Structure 1
Amino acid sequence: MSYSNYVLPAAARAGKWSLTMAWWAVFSAMFWIYVAVASAGAVGVVNTIIGMVLTIMTYGAINLVLARFAARTGLTVSLFSRTLFGLVGSALASLIFAATALYYAVFEGSIIAVAFQQYFGGSMVIWYAIVVIYAVPLALGGVQNWLDKLNGLLLPLYLAGLIAVVVASTMIKGVPTDWIGAAAASSALPGWLTSYLIYMGVYIMMMYTFDYARLGRQRDEKFLGTVAFGWVFYAFTFGLNGLVGIYIMSAWKLEASETGVVQAFISSLGFVGLLVILISQTRINTANYFLASENLSAFASRVFKLNLPRSVWVVVCGALAFSLMLTDVLSYLLKALAWQGVFVTAWVAIALVFIGLNWKKQDLVPDIRPTNLKAVSPGAAAWVVASAAGIALTEQTIWPVVAQLTPLITMVLAAGIYYGAYKLSPPQLMSSVESIDPADEELDPAIR
């Protein structure tokens, strides 16, 4: 049983190192190299490093709170969202989460396909198919089954690949002389703030953290909040990946792009570089497909009352990913992620307000039983209003600076409106549900 739609009981939790190895698959995404290089190209390397450090501190603090709460309650994003937004709102949260994870699976899978096509030639359609066909079986196993072992084995290989690409690019091209002092583009905002806002665009990591951290044991919550999901993880994920990416792209004088990152690795290491890309993208896509399938399952069970095994949804995610790859996905991917990012930042703000208001009630957890919940709660209005305002600010062109500041504005709006909604209609809490029988129809009659 995957417990996609249930509270996870203590007996089904993973050990802290097992969970860490599974989660640190996210560390090896080429997307983090791409983001850092794009930021450096926009505001300069020094400003990017400052923004990166502030981002590591922010992500570390937020995920410390979310990871500990998820490990204590055993809730998924979908289940927690029932308390925040009601049953209908929780379905929307699941759909947005599943779609975002799927989009990232498409992005990371496309990088593998591009790498193989550049190295071996051939049809991109065939490479897309191969990428999906081999990724789907890897995601069928849960974290407790073998994703931890697979990613634990591949982690040192990826780290060795990062070291090798730096050494090789230096030997071939020499030390880039201008990479630290690269000129920054002019902007109405300070460069470091622009870089910080760029990293706010991937707050989906907070949702990723929540769904993985709930697999951890409560007694490990301190370790989970600092090392597995906290500042240590982000120092490697944003810091190490970012610096390596900026360095090698500067050495090869390449622009930030999907193909540019691939070119830098293959130009530096040849076939070994191709293997590093394969390893990195294999690791990250185990997480993408795992979370996309979990949340698609939760959405389908709530909206369509389909209680199918998670393995079915992994296959569905693979089919959807392949279909998206056949379109001009990059033409609308960034726009879709920008809109979804607004909903995600609002969700993070609302989740933090709820946890903060209930922090002293450690013996209680959110009541997620459908019979005790409304279809739509006042919290849903806070989420929708803040997100709608964020999307409107993102799309308007009259005040460019305001558009850039949209993530921060959205978070403040969402937190403020939800605080008022909470005071108007406080969600119900209940005693610990850690030992509840998942077959209890009161927990979720929609999936009987």
Structure 2
Amino acid sequence: MEQTSSDHATRKFNKWVNNPVLEDYALRYAPRSFRTFSQSSVANSALGGIAFLANFAIGASVTTAYGFSSAFWGILIAAAVIFLTGIPIAYYSAKYNVDMDLLTRGAGFGYLGSTLTSLVYATFTFIYFATEGSILAQAFEIYFHMPLAVGYLIGALVVIPLVTFGMTLLSRLQSWTQPLWIILMVAPLIGILTTHPESLAAWTHFGGDKTTGASFNPLYSGMAAGVVLSLISQIGEQVDYLRFMPNRSEKNRKSWLWVVILSGPGWVILGAFNMICGSLYASYIAPTVGLTNAVEPIQQFIHGFGTIIPNAFLALTIATLFVILSQLKIQVTNAYSGSLSWSNFFSRLFHFHPGRVAWLFLQVAIALTIMEVGMFNFLNTILGFYANVAVAWIAAIVSDLVINKRILKISPDYIEFKRGHLHNFNPVGFGSMIIASIVSIVAYFGLLGGTMQAFSPFVALILSFVLVPIIALATKGKYYIARENPMHPSGIELAATVQESLDHVHHHHLGTDDVATYTCSVCQYDYEKEDMTYCPFHGGMICSLCCSLEKNCHDMCKTDKVLADLGKQAH
């Protein structure tokens, strides 16, 4: 059964993977030794990443399409759903210091089941990368008279060097730019409301291009909410920062929780505010620029700054500066989160990991391609369709975290993300998401009637949320854990072979505590216990990344014979 580590060649990683500043623990638990950022620094980085002008474009888009009243209530309803579903995700990710993919694995999807959600998340990041890139190119076109195709290329390439150095550089970038961005964001709103107070009345009576005018239409409101709900995956980008939160303690207990809530699901408070501002701006400038151009943030801010800056060229310059600043702040997050998602996806399917930076280039290339085909012109359609799958995914995770872990206690009370302890597929989350996605997409295309079509993302939300506990009860939770983790307190008593491999433990002084690390028998690097497990194939401790990349073990650690042998040694 066992083979010693000497029987296998030591795995060598390239210098990108070995550099934690570049890699940012893309496929791992974020260790305490790297989590040296303060709570305020993490919060600032997380909230700095929501400077995306797509919020203004989305608010304007649903308003010009469905009118003020339907759009306004659609935005608020969707924002409430996004906030509530984001709370448990942010909490568990910050508590266990794992990103969205690792959280999904341990919340009902299984090791390979979460590859599908990695694709869903990667799709979110490059759709919004392309959306923001299109907004930036529109500003370049107006200010520099630059062809859109060239603007797309420049906007995409400039992000790469900024994202290469991960959280270390991103936290500084967000901190430096945040004050200026806030000032420039609110200035146009103040200008419009003080110089043209009548714009508020015009806004509330704005009917867009629908025949119903400004009156409330529940179907249009549902459609507007569906577009906004595509942003539900944004919690994944917030989590990419929140996983670096310091450990929660008695001393920081309250502040820790507030930081997690405000910089996690709390992003949507500012996001909804920006959508409502975009709605107002669109109604204000539509008589001048037309409904199509009223959706473009650069047009909104040119006219907004024009209310307080008499010089037209200066107003254009400041508007362009604001767009460039906003896009840099959000594009680095879109590219960064996308690189994490692609890393997780390919490492599991192909046991191959050249480093997070390599997948950054793939992320930018995909986004650039869909920018060049003009996706901005079909924004509502693209986001409305995507929302069905994204909502089904998030609802499944939330249901598992809240109901199965806390109420029914069928799911383990911790987040297990390592391959050696998970079944490849868990029907609880994976099955619920698939069923809910299919039904809601069928509804989206109108095959279940007009009402169901308008509210298709809510079909996905309710169906996925309800199916998770039903499937968990039906399967008695047996697909959560394939093998107990001897490194976790709830695991089995340590077998003799496991205990022997733990004898070579290293203690590192970190703050007021000593942190124990264990040497991986494959790559020979030291990692904290949360990232380690026992591997019978290598006959020693193995880190989660080496476990993911192992091609030859064929999951032997989860076979009945190996489990029985380990159990005998334990007793």
Q: Same fold (TM over 0.5)?
A: yes
Number of the residue aligned with 1:6 = 28
In the TM superposition, residue 12 of structure 1 has moved relative to its aligned partner by 2.3
Amino acid at match of 2:462: V
Number of the residue aligned with 2:109 = 85
In the TM superposition, residue 397 of structure 1 has moved relative to its aligned partner by 4.9
Across the two proteins, how many residue pairs are aligned to each other? 445
- Aligned to 1:376, the other structure's residue is in SS state coil
Identify which of 243, 254, 269 aligns with 1:235: 269
Mean Cα displacement is larger for which, 380-389 or 259-268? 259-268
Task: Map 1:54-93 onto structure 2 (within 5 A).
Answer: 54-83=77-106, 84-93=108-117
Q: Does structure 1 retain, via aligned residues, the 8 Å contact 2:86–2:235?
A: yes
Assess, with a 3 A threshold, how the Cα gap between structure 1 residues 33 and 69 changes in structure 2: closer, same or farther.
same
1:151 aligns with 2:174: yes
1:436 aligns with 2:529: yes
- Aligned to 1:418, the other structure's residue is in SS state helix
Determine what percentage of the aligned residue pairs are the same residue.
Answer: 18
1:224 aligns with 2:326: no
1:358 aligns with 2:405: yes
Identify which of 238, 250, 257 aligns with 2:283: 250
Amino acid at match of 1:41: T
Amino acid at match of 2:27: N
Task: Map 1:322-337 onto structure 2 (within 5 A).
Answer: 322-330=368-376, 335-337=381-383
Mean Cα displacement is larger for which, 169-178 or 392-401? 169-178
Assess, with a 3 A threshold, how the Cα gap between structure 1 residues 314 and 169 changes in structure 2: closer, same or farther.
same
Number of the residue aligned with 2:420 = 371
Larger radius of gyration: 2
Identify which of 221, 246, 265 aligns with 2:301: 265
Assess, with a 3 A threshold, how the Cα gap between structure 1 residues 432 and 221 changes in structure 2: closer, same or farther.
farther
- Aligned to 1:10, the other structure's residue is in SS state coil
Amino acid at match of 2:297: V
Q: Does structure 2 retain, via aligned residues, the 8 Å contact 1:103–1:333?
A: no
Task: Map 1:174-253 onto structure 2 (within 5 A).
Answer: 175-176=198-199, 177-183=201-207, 185=210, 186=212, 189=218, 193-219=222-248, 221-231=256-266, 233-239=267-273, 241-253=274-286
Whole-Å Cα distance in 2 between the matches of residues 382 and 167 of structure 1? Answer: 46
Mean Cα displacement is larger for which, 192-201 or 244-253? 192-201
Assess, with a 3 A threshold, how the Cα gap between structure 1 residues 41 and 326 changes in structure 2: closer, same or farther.
closer
- Aligned to 1:75, the other structure's residue is in SS state coil
Mean Cα displacement is larger for which, 5-14 or 287-296? 5-14
Number of the residue aligned with 1:405 = 455
- Aligned to 1:446, the other structure's residue is in SS state helix
Amino acid at match of 1:10: R
Task: Map 1:24-63 onto structure 2 (within 5 A).
Answer: 24-63=47-86
Assess, with a 3 A threshold, how the Cα gap between structure 1 residues 37 and 53 changes in structure 2: closer, same or farther.
same
In the TM superposition, residue 435 of structure 1 has moved relative to its aligned partner by 3.9
Mean Cα displacement is larger for which, 428-437 or 210-219? 428-437
Amino acid at match of 2:188: V
Q: Deviations over 1:384-408 (max 9, x none)?
A: 1111111111123561211111111
Whole-Å Cα distance in 1 between the matches of residues 113 and 385 of structure 2? Answer: 17
Identify which of 322, 328, 335 aligns with 1:282: 328
Whole-Å Cα distance in 1 between the matches of residues 489 and 150 of structure 2? Answer: 50
In the TM superposition, residue 346 of structure 1 has moved relative to its aligned partner by 1.0
In the TM superposition, residue 48 of structure 1 has moved relative to its aligned partner by 3.9
Q: Does structure 2 retain, via aligned residues, the 8 Å contact 1:19–1:215?
A: yes
Whole-Å Cα distance in 2 between the matches of residues 138 and 303 of structure 1? Answer: 28
Whole-Å Cα distance in 1 between the matches of residues 372 and 457 of structure 2? Answer: 31
Identify which of 406, 415, 418 aligns with 2:465: 415
Assess, with a 3 A threshold, how the Cα gap between structure 1 residues 225 and 48 changes in structure 2: closer, same or farther.
farther
Q: Does structure 2 retain, via aligned residues, the 8 Å contact 1:67–1:221?
A: no
Q: For structure 2, which runs of at least 5 residues remain unmatched after alignment?
A: 1-19, 249-254, 307-314, 491-526, 533-540, 551-571
Assess, with a 3 A threshold, how the Cα gap between structure 1 residues 337 and 230 changes in structure 2: closer, same or farther.
closer
Q: Deviations over 1:103-152 (max 9, x none)?
A: 11011011111111121113322222211121111111222x12122112
Q: Does structure 2 retain, via aligned residues, the 8 Å contact 1:68–1:218?
A: no
In the TM superposition, residue 222 of structure 1 has moved relative to its aligned partner by 0.7
- Aligned to 2:414, the other structure's residue is in SS state strand
TM-score between both structures, scaled by the size of structure 1: 0.89
Amino acid at match of 1:7: Y
In the TM superposition, residue 315 of structure 1 has moved relative to its aligned partner by 2.1
Identify which of 24, 38, 42 aligns with 1:15: 38
Number of the residue aligned with 2:154 = 130
Q: Deviations over 1:165-219 (max 9, x none)?
A: 2355568867424112324754762665554444223211233333332222342
Q: Deviations over 1:255-298 (max 9, x none)?
A: 26586322222343211000011111111111100100000011
Number of the residue aligned with 1:119 = 143
Amino acid at match of 1:411: L
Amino acid at match of 2:423: K
Amino acid at match of 2:466: G
Amino acid at match of 1:347: W
Q: For structure 1, which runs of at least 5 residues remain unmatched after alignment?
A: none
Mean Cα displacement is larger for which, 328-337 or 420-429? 328-337
Assess, with a 3 A threshold, how the Cα gap between structure 1 residues 353 and 150 changes in structure 2: closer, same or farther.
same
In the TM superposition, residue 371 of structure 1 has moved relative to its aligned partner by 2.4
Whole-Å Cα distance in 1 between the matches of residues 77 and 187 of structure 2? Answer: 28
TM-score between both structures, scaled by the size of structure 2: 0.71
Whole-Å Cα distance in 1 between the matches of residues 353 and 104 of structure 2? Answer: 19
Whole-Å Cα distance in 1 between the matches of residues 57 and 358 of structure 2? Answer: 32
Whole-Å Cα distance in 2 between the matches of residues 332 and 86 of structure 1? Answer: 34
Amino acid at match of 1:320: I
- Aligned to 1:289, the other structure's residue is in SS state helix
1:99 aligns with 2:123: yes
Amino acid at match of 2:298: V
Whole-Å Cα distance in 2 between the matches of residues 105 and 422 of structure 1? Answer: 36
Identify which of 332, 335, 353 aligns with 1:307: 353
Assess, with a 3 A threshold, how the Cα gap between structure 1 residues 301 and 238 changes in structure 2: closer, same or farther.
same
Amino acid at match of 2:440: G
Whole-Å Cα distance in 2 between the matches of residues 327 and 64 of structure 1? Answer: 36
Amino acid at match of 2:341: N
- Aligned to 1:306, the other structure's residue is in SS state coil
Answer 1 or 2: higher relative contact order, Cα 8 Å, separation at least 6: 1
Whole-Å Cα distance in 1 between the matches of residues 176 and 206 of structure 2? Answer: 37
Q: Does structure 2 retain, via aligned residues, the 8 Å contact 1:72–1:221?
A: no
Q: Does structure 2 retain, via aligned residues, the 8 Å contact 1:106–1:325?
A: yes
Q: Does structure 2 retain, via aligned residues, the 8 Å contact 1:20–1:148?
A: no
Amino acid at match of 1:418: V
Q: Does structure 2 retain, via aligned residues, the 8 Å contact 1:363–1:432?
A: no
